[in-house]
Every structure is written in structure tokens, then in C-alpha cells.
Amino acid sequence: MPANDIAPITQDFLTIPRKERNGPVNLVGLTREKLRETLINQGTESKKARMRASQIWQWIYQWGVRDFNAMTNLAKDYRTSLTESFVIGIPEVVGRRASEDGTLKYIVRLAGGHEVETVYIPETDRGTLCISSQVGCTLTCSFCHTGTQRLVRNLTAGEIIGQVMLARDDLGDWPRKGVGMGERPRLISNIVLMGMGEPLYNFDNVRDAMKIAMDGEGISLSRRRITLSTSGVVPEISRTASEIGCMLAVSFHATTDKLRDKLVPINRKWNIDALLNALREYPKASNSERITFEYVMLRDVNDSDEDARRLVRLIRGIPAKINLIPFNEWPGAPHRRSTKERIGKFADIIYKAGYASPVRTPRGEDIMAACGQLKSATERMRKSRREIEMEAQR
Ligand code: SAH
Ligand code: SF4
């Protein structure tokens, strides 16, 4: 992770109460291995540590239990010792808004008081949870509301997986004893890392959290039901394939470097050619069928027939689906949404070239929960022009 792309730790971080930093260890977000080590350090007999870790893991991630005293297959004394040393903590929901279309937006407060947003999108055949990986974003894509927010910090693995857990709490999506897994629909059947932040600038924490989400003894989501969206952090793409192996979406949005430099400024660091080279390797390396190319439709900016043809030429040879996203407006946004007719014509060219080209129906617009509209209430501060320029040049 290029450290200089992350804004310096701010005063806000320093305001985390000391007690929280030195207090009991939170078990949520630890990998299995770390959980085992942590138990040994606390005094669990090392011969038994693997089994204990597995038991605790199942309580936390399979059943959603947060109280050690409810872990009935552990001896009472042992439960007491766990209570003294550890907590099972997830971020707090401080706001919940429901859209007319059923979309739910959670305002989630992290340690230190920062907030991120998590969005649940129910559909007929599935339910998708859109989770955040950073408070704000260091990048400054011109069409994205999150990009106007100062980055405060990366989320921890616990805060990332914690978003899945808090949504499962709210939706009542934890399994119930006696009800078989296949007997009830999972409300959260898919996860997309498309909330606030650039997940590949917080690689290790995102990886650890997704490993927890995929673990068969817990939340148990297939890697094919997890999609990570990146603006194009090229050096981390092969690691995403080998260390996470989930589905990949890429925020493409432009077909020339000149335009992409402006819309997705990370392009100045890793241009379209470099990005496409990394993407060509991804499906093989991760054994996934295809990559999703996200393309936000901006009126008179990137939506011509010529753009559509160029797009098809560029991605030739890459197994792909192209997701057209009508631009979602936010206060002060410098773009407008392409017309329906234009989006239709653009989609047609792509479809005729042999690619699926679904147009994403905006969800949750009335509660500012649609793609690119997320921005936490505590951080309305706009980045200065100078900051944006400096970040773009890095
Ligand atoms: N940082 C990552 C993931 C978060 S953004 C990334 O950029 O890929 C999730 C998706 O929403 C991206 O494809 C992004 O380009 C898109 N998006 C951002 N702002 C938008 C807006 N205002 N309207 C529509 N889509 C937007
Ligand atoms: Fe960051 Fe993604 Fe928004 Fe760009 S689109 S500013 S990378 S969150």
C-alpha cells in the first residue's frame, strides 16, 4: 500500500479514548490464526487452542453471539476468563434510513467517532450489502461524492466484517437453532465492496475481513458472491486474485487516458494500458469467470457511440460484463446524468459486440444511498482544490 496516498493520521485518531486502545482485545476481525495466538497469549492451553478458536469462531460468525456466557460448549470458568480479557465488539449503528424502494442505509459509528455508511439493497432473488473500507477516500474521482471527503483513516478488519454483522443483526439474518441453512433464504446473499473508500488501499484489512466472510464455519459466503470494486490500484490486483479470490469490478469510466486522467485521477499513476494488462491476468489467476467493468454515464462527457466502440475494442479478449451506471447526482456535482436514450444506444453497441451490458437501476437515491452518493455527515468538509491537485499528481 503506498503509504503516501493515505492522508496523515489526524488529530481525530488521537482522540480515540486510551481505554479503547489499551482495554480488552476485540476478537472480531482477527483471522483464525490470530485468534488462536491471541487465546494462547491469554492463557488458553496451546494444545486446545485450535479447538477453542474454532468453537469461539462459530459462536461469533455462525450464530452472531456476542456474549461469552452464551457459549455453552465452553466451561464456565473458561467463559469467565474470556469475559475478563476480551470483547466481541462491532461498530454501532447510529442512524438507519429506509428508501421507498426498500434500500436501507446504515450510518455506522467507528471507534474515535468517525462514521461510514453501509447500504443494504434487497432484490427479488438476492440481497446485497454494500460495505465501506475507508472513512472517506484519498482519491478524487470527479463524479464521486465520497471523493470530496477527507480521508480520516482505514477501517480495521473488524470494522469491515462488523458491517456485515450489524446488518445481519438488524435484518434478523443470523441462522436460528433448529432451522437448517437451506430452509430459509439468506437476506444478505452478496457483499460488494463498493461503499466508501478504495478497498485496495486498505488491502490487508479488506483481505482478512473477506476471509472471515468466506469461512465455511461462519458467515460462509462463496467467493463468487463477493465483489470488490477498485478504481485501478494496479499493483494490488494480482494479490486480490491470489489472496482473496473474489469477483473483481473495475471503475473504468473512460476510454482514453486523457479523459480517464480527469475522471479517475489514479489513471495518472496507472494508465488504461497498465490496468488492462493487470485485468487480463485476473480471471485465470482467481479462477473467476469474468470481470465487471463499471461505467458511469456522464452526459456529453463519456457517453458517445465512439466511446462505446472504443470501450469494446479496448477490452477485447477479457471475459467481461459491462455495468452501465446512470450518474447519481449529489449537491454540487460537476456532471449530469446521460439521457435514457443515450444510455440505451450505448448499451446496444456493447451488447451487439457480445457483452452483457446491464444498466444499473439507481437504488436508494431518495436517501442518498446510491453509488457514489455516500459521504458521512461528520465529514462534510470539502477538500481544497490544492489538495485535490496534489493527490492527483502523486
Ligand atoms: N473506490 C472503489 C469502490 C467504491 S465506488 C471504486 O472506485 O471502484 C463504487 C462504484 O460507484 C464505482 O464504480 C464508482 O465509480 C461508482 N460511482 C461513484 N460515484 C458515482 C456516482 N455519483 N454515480 C454513479 N456511480 C458512481
Ligand atoms: Fe474513491 Fe471510488 Fe469514489 Fe473514486 S469512485 S473517489 S476511488 S470511492
Amino acid present at 17: P
pLDDT at 372: 67
Distance from chain centroid for Cα 190: 11
371 is known as an active-site residue: yes
Look up cell 435484518; give the residue.
171
The three-state secondary structure class of 54 is helix
Give yes or no for a contact between 143 and 263, defined as CB atoms under 8 angstroms apart: yes
Ligand closest to CA 253: 1
The three-state secondary structure class of 116 is strand
Active-site pick, 246, 371, 379, 391? 371
Which residues of the chain form beta strands (DSSP E)? 25-26, 86-87, 92-98, 104-109, 115-122, 127-130, 190-193, 226-230, 247-251, 291-297, 320-326
Per-residue pLDDT of the chain (394 residues; tens, 9 = 90+): 333 333 333 333 333 333 345 679 999 999 999 999 999 999 999 999 999 999 999 999 999 999 999 999 999 999 999 999 999 999 999 999 999 999 999 999 999 899 999 999 999 989 999 999 999 999 999 999 887 877 678 999 999 999 999 999 999 999 987 766 666 789 999 999 999 999 999 999 999 999 999 999 999 999 999 999 999 999 999 999 999 999 999 999 999 999 999 999 999 999 999 999 999 988 777 776 799 999 999 999 999 999 999 999 999 999 999 999 999 988 889 999 999 999 999 999 999 999 998 998 888 877 777 776 766 554 444 444 444 444 444 4
Cα–ligand 1 centroid distance for 306 (angstroms): 23
Give yes or no for a contact between 352 and 305, defined as CB atoms under 8 angstroms apart: no
**pTM, two decimal places:** 0.90
State whether the beta carbon of 143 lies less than 6 angstroms from ligand 1. yes
- As a whole number of Å, the end-to-end CA separation of the chain is 13
Q: Identify which of 106, 136, 195 has the alpha carbon closest to the alpha carbon of residue 379.
A: 136
Amino acid present at 117: E
For the chain, state the CA radius of gyration.
Answer: 22
pLDDT at 311: 98
117 is known as an active-site residue: yes
Q: Which residues line ligand 2 (CB under 6 A)?
A: 137, 139-141, 144, 146-147, 197-198, 231, 251
Ligand closest to CA 198: 1
State whether the beta carbon of 322 lies less than 6 angstroms from ligand 1. no
pLDDT at 377: 52
pLDDT at 363: 82
CA 307 – CA 335 distance, rounded (Å): 17
User: What is the DSSP code (8-state) at residue 38?
Assistant: H
pLDDT at 11: 33
Q: Identify which of 89, 71, 85, 70 has the alpha carbon closest to the alpha carbon of residue 28.
A: 89
pLDDT at 176: 82
Residues 6+ apart with CB under 8 A from 123: none
